[in-house]
Amino acid sequence: MIKKQLVVEQGWNFDNSYAKLPNTFYTSLNPTQVASPKLVIFNDALAAELGLNQQELEGKVGAEIFAGNIIPEGAAPLAQAYAGHQFGHFTRLGDGRAHLLGEHISPSGKRYDIQLKGSGRTPYSRGGDGRAVLGPMLREYIISEAMHALGIPTTRSLAVVTTGEEVIRETILPGAVLTRVAASHIRVGTFQYAAAWCSEDELRKLADYTIQRHYPELEGESESNRYRRLLQTVIQRQAELIAKWMQIGFIHGVMNTDNMTISGETIDYGPCAFMDIYDPATVFSSIDRDGRYAYGNQPYIGGWNLARFAETLLPLLHADENKAVEIAQDEISKFNELFSQNWTKGMRAKLGLYREETGDEALIEGILSLMKKHRADFTNTFRSLTYNLQSEAMFGSSDFGKWHEQWQTRLEKQQESKQDVQRLMRSVNPVVIPRNHRVEEALEAATNGDYNVMMKLLNVLTRPYEYIANHDEYCQLPAPSARPYQTFCGT
C-alpha cells in the first residue's frame, strides 16, 4: 500500500457506494499481481477531467496502480456479478477478468467507476485465465476515445499497461491491463442476475440504487410509478444511443444483454467495427455467423434486450403480475417509434435539414438505397455531400443526379442559408472515423513495440468533424485484399 499523502497528490477520491449493495451482487477481492508492469499509454485529457495528477500517475507508481499491483487508498476492489443473454442464450456471468477499484468522485462532483480489465481471475472466470492481451486492450482504448470525440455516450479509457507476462490465446501474446472509466457498470445483465438469483427485496435495492445513481430526478416519483419511469428512461436512452451508433456507421458486434448499460453508455469494444461500404447486412464479428448483430439489426436487438430488462422489473412494476406485464409491454412497444424518431432526426441533420417535412423519410431512404446499390462508402458519402466533394463513383450516375435535385429542392424550402446548412452538416458528418484497417495497422505496430502509428491515429481521431487536407489518407477505404474484414472478441 502506498502512502496516503502520495494518493492525495495523485488526486484519487474514492467512494464505494456499489459495495453497500447486498454482497450477492459482487465478490470483494484484489487484482492478481503481475510481474513487470509498464505504462504504454495514458489519457492525459481524461485524467485532467477526473482531477487526477497526470505527472504523478505517468511514472512507475501509476503503472503499478493500473496493473492492479498497488491498491490506492480508499479503493475497495470487487468483481461484479451479472448474467446475460449471449447470442440469445441466457447464462450466469460476472467480471471474469475485471476488478472495479471503486468509484472516483471528480472535482465537479461526478461519480465514475474505475475498472481494471485483464486484472486476473475472479469467482466468475468460468475457467478463463482472467487476463487480457495487448492488442484488444489498445483497440478498446482507440475506439472508445474515438467514440467520445464523435459525441457518442461511451465508457472511456484512462490507461493501458503491459504486464511483463505472456498470455496464451491462439498464439503467445503480451499481457496487458486496461483501465476503463464508466458512469457505472450496471447492465441489463445485472438486473437479469437479480431477477434470476436474488430476492425481490435485493432486486428493489438494485433498482433504487440505480435510480439514485443515474436518474435521481425519479426519486420523487411515487413507488407505483418510479420503476415504470426507470424503464421509460432506459428505453429512451438506448433508442438515442443506437440511433447515434448507426448515424456514424458503427456496428457494436456483440449486443448481448450484459453489454447494454443502464446509464446509456456504449460498453465493450471487442468485435465492434465501423462500416465502410453501406450495407445493412454488414457483420464483422467472427462469432456472429448468423448476423444477429448486423448493422441493420441493431434496433431490433436493442428492443429485444430492453424487453429482457422489462421482464426483470415485473415484480416492481405492479403487485398484480398481469398488470405488471401490461405496463412492461406498453413501454417496450414505444421503443421502435422512439428509435425511428431519433434515427430520422439524426439523418435529417446529416442532410442539412432543420425541420421535419413530409417526404424527408423518403429522401433519407433514397440516399441509403443509392449507397447500397452503388456500394458507396457510408462516411465518405456524407463527407462528400457536406464539403461538395466528388469522392464516390455513384455521384456521376443518373439516379443520384435525380436524388440530388430532390435534395436541393428540399433545402431551398427552408429559410436557413447555405452556410447554416453546411454548419449543421459539418457538426454531424464526421470526416474521419477509426477505419478498421487503420486500427489494425496501429495495433500491429504497437504489438511490435512501435506506438507512433497509434499515437498519430489517435491525434487524428480527436478531431473527427474537422476537414483537414492532410488527413485524407485516413478517409481511404482498405485495399480489396484487406476485405472482408473480421473482428474478434479478444477473450
Residue positions annotated with a catalytic role: 258
Residues 368-379: pLDDT tens digits?
Answer: 999 999 999 999
CA-CA distances (angstroms) from residue 72 to 8, 105, 370? 10, 14, 55
How many CB atoms are located within 10 Å of the residue 437 CB?
15
Three-class secondary structure of residue 441 per DSSP:
helix
Helices 335-350 and 418-428: angle between axes, nearest 10 degrees: 130
Mean pLDDT by 10 residues, the chain (491 residues): 51 96 97 96 97 92 96 96 94 96 96 97 93 96 98 98 90 94 98 98 98 96 93 98 98 96 96 94 86 95 98 97 98 98 98 95 98 96 91 89 96 95 97 95 95 97 92 88 64 53
Burial class (CB in 10 A: 0-12, 13-18, 19+), 463: middle
Residues 385-394: pLDDT tens digits?
Answer: 999 887 778 9
- Strand ranges (E), 106-207: 111-117, 132-133, 156-168, 172-182
Contact status, residue 167 vs residue 129, Cβ threshold 8 Å: yes
Strands 156-168 and 111-117, bridge-based pairing: unpaired
Contact status, residue 25 vs residue 81, Cβ threshold 8 Å: yes
